[in-house]
Amino acid sequence: MDEPVKFYQTGTFTVGNRLLPKEQRTVQASRQRGNALNSGHRACQGCGEALGARYVVDAALRAAEGRLIAANATGCLEVFSTPYPETSWQLPWIHSLFGNAAAVGTGIAAALKVKGRRDVRVIAQGGDGGTTDIGFGCLSGMFERNDDVLYVCYDNQGYMNTGVQRSSATPPGARTATTMAVGPEPGAPFGQGKNLPLIAMAHAIPYVATATVADLHDLEAKVERAMALHGARYLHVLVPCPLGWGAASHDTVRLARLAKESGIFPVFEAEHGELTAVSKIRRRVPAAEYLRLQKRFAHLFGEPGHPEMLAAIQAGADRNVRRFGLED
């Protein structure tokens, strides 16, 4: 302990910064760190997206040696960080529309290329609605052309900014404002949803990774890996939303961890379409342990409850464990 740290983590599954050697600490542990997304923004208490975005952009900014431009889709991140004349962004930042962050990123990258600015890097970011739904075409185009943009999806599994409606990333069974917990099959229809990390891999782009805000070392390492590469790169970060998930603000990191430890959200890396690394589950937990903390799944429990839906969700988690080899 040779210097005081500004932020540190505690808990069962994380190793606090204060216990780590200096070189292994997160960017956030440094008192001299930049702050790409300044405090004072209007995110909800316990917002997973604010946490994820701060780590992602800080790490990307550091990797780019301060020369980074961000394109942002419409959504929570845009709204809570930039009500003019205030802005939390300490880097050049543009918001255009909901569905075009990837294409705006492409345009910025094209402009930088034509001007010979290979030193300036581009990041495009959006929530799951702007990424898996309305911005999907632009994102796929950016992948296909292999444009030199790192696209980051902050996945909170719904349209939280507009009042918690279903997106194509909303998990099966979840209650949202447009998939109410009523009728014989309450919540979002059962199915696998749109798995964007796998779709990104199918484009054979240089780098695809998933991460959660429960493991910020891992998240930063993936940003650094992505920034070391050129071409189209995709990072999918699970960011629990206390408001939309009906969870306690202090459970954000815990939920992200349980999503991974249950197998519901596999954490992995892929390069050029091939899986290269998987974050193993340290202590397997039943899916119900993750679901029970969230009011959006409350209808699955209690009397009469929906044991068949719980079983289907558990089966999906088991399938992920087998498919990605999440257990030793």
Residues that bind another protein (CB under 8 A): 66-69, 71, 78-79, 82-84, 87, 89-97, 99-100, 103-116, 120, 137-138, 140-141, 144-145
Q: Please state, in angstroms and as integers, the Cα–Cα distance from residue 140 to each residue in 94, 150, 226, 308, 318, following that order.
A: 20, 13, 18, 35, 29
100 vs 110: CA distance, rounded Å: 15
123 vs 66: CA distance, rounded Å: 12
User: In 3-state terms, what secondary structure has residue 314?
Assistant: helix
Per-residue DSSP letter, 214: T
CB of 152 to another protein, least distance (A): 16
Name the token pair of 197: 């990390």
Q: Please state, in angstroms and as integers, the Cα–Cα distance from residue 3 to each residue in 10, 17, 20, 227, 261, following that order.
A: 18, 11, 12, 28, 33
Nearest partner of 245 among 188, 192, 182, judged by Cα:
188
CB of 111 to another protein, least distance (A): 4
Is the Cα dihedral 131, 188, 242, 251 positive or negative?
Answer: negative
Nearest partner of 237 among 53, 40, 60, judged by Cα:
53
CB of 108 to another protein, least distance (A): 4
Phi then psi for 213, rounded to 5 degrees? -80, 5
Q: Cβ closer to another protein: 109 or 208?
A: 109
Q: Cβ closer to another protein: 138 or 310?
A: 138
Q: Cβ closer to another protein: 97 or 248?
A: 97
CB of 104 to another protein, least distance (A): 4
CB of 158 to another protein, least distance (A): 21
Q: Cβ closer to another protein: 29 or 153?
A: 153
Q: Cβ closer to another protein: 138 or 216?
A: 138
Q: Which residues contact 319 (CB under 8 A, 6 or more apart)?
A: none
Per-residue DSSP letter, 131: I
CB of 73 to another protein, least distance (A): 11
Q: Cβ closer to another protein: 101 or 201?
A: 101
CB of 145 to another protein, least distance (A): 7
CB of 153 to another protein, least distance (A): 17
DSSP letters spanning 226-269: HHHS-S-EEEEEE---HHHHT--GGGHHHHHHHHHHTTSS--EE
CB of 72 to another protein, least distance (A): 8
Q: Cβ closer to another protein: 111 or 311?
A: 111
Q: Cβ closer to another protein: 66 or 273?
A: 66
Question: Which amino acid makes up residue 134?
Answer: I
Name the token pair of 231: 């071409």
Q: Cβ closer to another protein: 92 or 305?
A: 92
